[in-house]
């Protein structure tokens, strides 16, 4: 699956909030999102730049999908809808 070009960090933050991630802090141009479950919490950092690079987006989706226990392609489809 091709990852989208032009997806901003702010857009990704909004999309990941649908999966239980909440913005917990911001340092400079980066936002830290946290998802807390009964097993603990998971943190992911999203750059608030214009358009995210494809490699950056891929790495973020890989990390989030492994935490959620779903395939990266499935997560990408849900985010793009």
In tens, the pLDDT along 6-31 reads 899 999 999 999 999 999 999 999 99
pLDDT at 68: 93
- Please state the domain extents for the chain: 9-80
Residue 1 has pLDDT above 80, yes or no: no
What's the order of all strands across the beta sheet hosting 40-47? 22-27, 30-37, 40-47
Closest CA to 33 of 74, 69, 68: 68
Q: What's the chain's average pLDDT?
A: 92
CATH 3.90.180.10 is held by the domain 9-80: no
pLDDT at 21: 96
Specify the pTM. Answer: 0.91
pLDDT at 71: 95
Residue 80 has pLDDT above 90, yes or no: no
């Amino acid at each position: 699956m091709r990852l989208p070009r032009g997806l901003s960090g702010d857009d990704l933050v909004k999309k990941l909030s649908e999966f239980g991630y909440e913005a917990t802090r911001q340092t400079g141009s980066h936002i830290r999102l946290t998802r807390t479950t009964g097993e603990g919490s998971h943190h992911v950092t999203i750059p608030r730049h214009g358009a995210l690079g494809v490699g950056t987006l891929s790495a973020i989706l890989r990390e989030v999908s492994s935490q959620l226990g779903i395939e990266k392609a499935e997560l990408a489809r849900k985010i793009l809808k």
